Structure formats: structure tokens, C-alpha cells
Chain A
Amino acid sequence: MTTHAPAPSFIRRLLSGDLPRSRILTVILIAIVVGLVVAPFLVPGARSLNTSAKILIFIALVASYDLLLGYTGIVSFAHTMFFGIGAYGIAIASTRMEPGWTALAVGTSCAILLSVILATVIGLFSLRVRAVFFAMITLAVATAFSTLMSQLSEWTGGEDGITFKMPTIFQPAYRLFEEPVLGIVINGRILSYYAILIAVVVLFLLMLRIANSPFGRVLQAIRENPFRTEAIGYRTVFYRTIASVISAVFATLAGVLMAIWLRYNGPDTTLSLEIMVDILLITVIGGMGTLYGAIVGSVVFMIAQTYLQDVMVLVSKASEHIPLVATLAHPDRWLLWLGLLFVLSIYYFPQGVVGSLRDRARGT
């Protein structure tokens, strides 16, 4: 049993009383948060800034999926559809209108409206059926949506996607100060990064609050025993539908952030099934039903995805003369290794990183 110093009450309130409940996890989380805050100064460069921004966006995206999968026990494959709706909302509004704050506001509002409608319809029509059918329906709808977006190329840029402009302060050429700060020029990229950071913090804390609300508790009851939840007086189909609407809205907002960051959107950046699989993996690796798992999982996954290839280039160079090792370590095999890593981690930590650390802290 580890003894915890009691957290200050404002932190407790900020985290909705849902603390990490493991000293190691607390340290990891603090390190990640501090790391993400100082990243532009600590590891300057476009590539690492890009990785940090993607980590942030995935934290919001995966946390919103965890509300569905981890808390409510609903398997959906339509999560990237809502992510894509957010990104396309910004993309289309910013190309069809004068780029700027109005376009952002209009794009975001329209995207949220569309997501709410779609999630409600899918929920009310199909959350009554068995879980497997629901999963298949979401897959069908998401695939249809993806095809539709590719075909509406006049609006969406089809397979190529579209690039667009952001408000002035988010444009790379913008300078906040004349002089560099701590050796770094505070340009539009840095400002976008911090805007995304603040947005993700707010979204995450909001999700943490929802997870620890009376409503969030009903979702966990549904996950545990939907039959009994209904029998004690909760209309489960409404709770499930509202959960999927909330989850869809957060995914949409993550999509908005993605578009703001990339100033580009196409099917491969937000709609692909590959991203859906990534979301699923990160949720499971981080630890389902914990929300904190989204933070740890996203960091591990994005770093592995970005830097594993680099490491493999080194390994394969060093082992040029050993035939089999060189083949296996060839950078093109990085997905194989990533896959292997995941199989192992799920096998040894079925509860995910957060679940395992909490078990450890409880001494079980």
C-alpha cells in the first residue's frame, strides 16, 4: 500500500474528485503534462512540435472514445466519422467563406449540429439491438460517410483533401513578439499549439467531470449490467444514445483542432479506418474506463509511431551483415513491430497501463 499525500482541494475539484490513485501514475501524468507544456522550447523543430500537437488532439479524441467504450461498454466504429465531421466543418467553412474566426465558428457549429443529429439517429435506431449489430451498423455508416466525402470532391477536395487558411494569429508567418523568447520565435505555429493545448485541457477536464457525474455513474452501471440498470428505473436506450452523442461532440471538437493544426484535411488524416484502429488500440493500451489512459496511451502510441521507424533505420544499418536481423529490422517492417508491441502489452497488461498501475497501488 502506498501512502498518498492528499491532493490540494482545488486540484481535487478540477479533476472532479477522480485522482490518478497511483503514485507512479501521478508522476507519469505530471511529467507528460509538463512535457507537453514546455515541448516547443524543450525539443524545438517542426517534427517534434507536430508530434506533440497530435498527442494533444489524440488525448481528446481517445478520451471521448473511452466515454463510449470504457464507461458505457459500447463498441462503435463511427468515431472517426465524427472526428472527420469536425475537420471537414472547418475545412469547408474556411474555403467557402472568408477564412478567419467567423469561418471557425460557423464550421464548428455546423459540424457539431451534424454530429448530434447523426449520433442521435444512429443511437435511437440501433442501440436497442445487440452490441455486435450496433458495431456493424456504425461501421457501415462510417464507410458510407467516407465514400460520400470522397465523392463530394467539389466541396471536400475528394481523395486529395483541401488546404485552407486560419485566422492571422495561427498563420506560420505571424509573430507575437519581435524578439525570440528563450531562443524560440513565437510564431503562429506556437500559438496554434498552445491554443490546442488549452482546448484539450478544457475538453479533458469536462469529460472527467461527465464521467464522475450521476450520469457517468449510470453509464458504468449500463456497462456492468444493462438488464439490471433498466430494472432499477433507467431507460438505458436514452442513456446510451446521450452517451454516444456526447462522445460524438467531443470527437468533432478534436477534429476541429486537427484541422486548425494541419490547415489541411483529407480522408486519410481524419476519416480512415486506420485511425479508428489506432483509437481502439490506444484506448485499450491506456486502460479502458479511466480517461487517464487516453493521456498515457496517446503519448506511448504517438512516440512509437513517430520514432520507431528512426530506431529501426539505425538497427538495420548496424546489422547490415546479419541477414535475417537486417530484414526484420528493415524500416518497412515497423508496423509489424508495433503490432507485436501491442499484442504483448495487451497480453501482459489487459487492464491497460492505468488499470495495472492502479492495481499495483492497491496492492493486488
Chain B
Amino acid sequence: MMEGSVNASEPRVSLETRGLGIRFGGHVAVNAVSCAFRPGELTCIVGPNGAGKTTYFNLISGQLRPSEGSILLQGRDITAMPTSARALAGLGRAFQLTNLFPQLSVLENIRLVVQARRGFGFSLLSLWTSHRDAIAEAETCLERVSLQHRRDATAASLPHGDQRKLEVALLIALNPDVFLFDEPTAGMSIDEVPVILDLIREIKTDSSKTVLLVEHKMDVVRSLADRIIVLHNGTLLADGDPATVMESPIVHEAYLGMSAKEAAAIEQVAHD
């Protein structure tokens, strides 16, 4: 088993999970996962359906409480912190299943995030329109995902691909230190995928940002990942640089259910 070096005193670690696990009844969905992530690094999390990738994210971002282990953000234990506080502490999450404010406008979806980060949500007597810089900032985020022409449409009225873009825009608006992307391109048409990938690449160029990306598409993984970790039945199966992990027979057997040679052959066909 390949283990990434986990060293708590290492100052450059932004996010770390220590022995993190959760059980649903008797079923262990995430099993004592210890892993550290650093700024400037994009880690792809791969694994078959039901491997526990989304559940791992749910534990990190606070939607689920762990049965065991702890989570550290910038060296601070956040295991007991509510979800909302984690978001403001620099942990941002985009969801696998689009999770928006359906009847609010596209711009309002983003503006709400800017408002949360700027912390004027408890302002009762000012007009929301008087906070112009928040609106302007939301508009900038909108342009980054090329949705400015849908500014006033309701989120629910957008086609699926645009909803995925908006999902990512919410995360960009939050501007966290640690980005958790859960299959951001799932269900998008081929020509829309590059918009999202370019955005993720752009985030990656900022050396202060840590990115965790759950992704099934191997070509996406190959083009973005600095590091790959493999989850299987909730267990951390492999962890290392992309070339090593991709070659590893244990990964192929568990994840792809075939030998490395077979997999390479299939990919060759797919690329032609």
C-alpha cells in the first residue's frame, strides 16, 4: 500500500483527515482515511461507484458527522465545527448533484455566496441592492463561467450544463482555500466540459489553493491531477503521483476490474 507522507508538523498542509471514518449501520462507507493535502496541489480522488468519495467529502465539509477520526483545516481541528462555519473558514464544496436555489435568479444565487463571505447577512434594514460591490463581484463570477446572458433567469430554468457551471460559480464566489469538486463535469455535453476544466486549471495556478477533485473521466484526471488517491470500499487504497498510481496493478484490479495491460489497450482504442 502506498501512503502519502502524513506529517502534522509540516506547515504547508492545508487540509488533513486523520483516521476519518463513518459507518451507516453495519456498513463502513469511509474507513479510517488518513490523508494530507497541500496548497498548490490538485488531488484527484478516484474509485468505483459507491467507493465513498462523496461521503468522504460530506465528512470534510460537515454534512455528515464522522464516527471516528478528525479533520484539520490549516492545522485547526474542525471536526465539531458546523458546515456554515467551515465554509467561511475556507472550505468550499461543489456538489455532485446540482444543488442550487431554483427559484432565485442566476445572479442572486452567486450574490448570496458573496454576501455570506462578506458577512453582511444579518443586515436587516439596509437594502440588498445598496451593497453594490457585492453585486459587481457576483457579476464578475458570472462572467467567469460565461453565464452573463442568463443573469436574470431563474436557476431552475437553466439547461443542465449551465446549472453545472452555476454550481462551480458558487464555489468560485466563495473563494475558499480548499476546493472540493465532486464530479463537476458529470452529465455535461462534450463542448461544455472545457469551460469547467479551464476554471479548475485557473484555480490550480494559484499556489495558495488546494483542490480536491472527484472525477471518473480518466482523460480529465490525467490532464489535471498532480496526485491521485484511490478509494475502494471506503478504504484509501493508493496515493501517489499520477503515473505511479495509474500503473499500479492493485488499482487496476480494484478500480477497473482488469489488468493494466487490458486497460491500456482499451484506452488506446478510445483515443483513436
Interfacial residues, chain A to chain B (CB-CB below 8 A): 16-17, 209-210, 212-218, 220-221, 224-225, 227-236, 239, 242, 246
**B101–A235 touching, CB < 8 Å:** no
A242 to B124 CA separation, bound complex (whole angstroms): 10
CB A128 to nearest CB in B, in angstroms, measures 11
Closest to B94 in A: A231
**A221–B112 touching, CB < 8 Å:** yes
Segment touching A, from B81-89, B211-219, B239-247: B81-89
Q: A216-B124, A221-B101, A230-B84 are in contact. List 11 more A-B contacts (CB 8 A).
A: A213-B123, A214-B115, A215-B121, A220-B104, A225-B100, A230-B83, A231-B99, A233-B85, A233-B88, A235-B85, A246-B124
Closest to A220 in B: B104
Taking CB atoms, residues of chain A closer than 8 Å to B142 are: none
Taking CB atoms, residues of chain B closer than 8 Å to A239 are: 121
Taking CB atoms, residues of chain A closer than 8 Å to B125 are: 209-210, 213
Interfacial residues, chain B to chain A (CB-CB below 8 A): 61, 63, 82-85, 87-88, 93, 95, 99-104, 108, 111-113, 115-117, 120-129, 131, 170, 174
**B82–A235 touching, CB < 8 Å:** yes
CB A233 to nearest CB in B, in angstroms, measures 4
Taking CB atoms, residues of chain A closer than 8 Å to B108 are: 217
Residue pairs across A and B with CB atoms within 8 Å: the count is 95
**A233–B126 touching, CB < 8 Å:** no
Taking CB atoms, residues of chain B closer than 8 Å to A16 are: 127
CB B148 to nearest CB in A, in angstroms, measures 21
A247 to B104 CA separation, bound complex (whole angstroms): 23
Taking CB atoms, residues of chain A closer than 8 Å to B120 are: 214
**A212–B104 touching, CB < 8 Å:** no
Taking CB atoms, residues of chain B closer than 8 Å to A217 are: 108, 111-112, 115, 128
Closest to A224 in B: B101
Provide the main secondary structure of the chain A interface: helix
A242 to B123 CA separation, bound complex (whole angstroms): 12
A215, A225, A231: residue with the most chain B Cβ atoms closer than 10 Å:
A231
Closest to B102 in A: A224
A234 to B117 CA separation, bound complex (whole angstroms): 9
**B174–A233 touching, CB < 8 Å:** yes
Known contacts: A228-B100, A230-B83, A236-B84. The answer to whether A210 contacts B93 by CB under 8 A is no
**A17–B93 touching, CB < 8 Å:** no
Taking CB atoms, residues of chain A closer than 8 Å to B123 are: 213-215
**B101–A225 touching, CB < 8 Å:** yes
Taking CB atoms, residues of chain B closer than 8 Å to A215 are: 121-124
A327 to B101 CA separation, bound complex (whole angstroms): 50
Taking CB atoms, residues of chain A closer than 8 Å to B128 are: 212-214, 216-217
Closest to A235 in B: B84
**B124–A213 touching, CB < 8 Å:** yes
**B103–A233 touching, CB < 8 Å:** no
**B116–A234 touching, CB < 8 Å:** yes
Known contacts: A213-B126, A216-B128. The answer to whether A232 contacts B121 by CB under 8 A is no
**B122–A231 touching, CB < 8 Å:** no
Taking CB atoms, residues of chain B closer than 8 Å to A236 are: 84
**A231–B83 touching, CB < 8 Å:** yes
Task: Identify which of A212, A214, A231, A235 contacts B93 (C-beta below 8 A).
Answer: A231
Task: Identify which of B87, B103, B104, B122 contacts A232 (C-beta below 8 A).
Answer: B87
Taking CB atoms, residues of chain A closer than 8 Å to B93 are: 231
**A225–B174 touching, CB < 8 Å:** no
Taking CB atoms, residues of chain B closer than 8 Å to A232 are: 84, 87, 112-113, 116, 170, 174
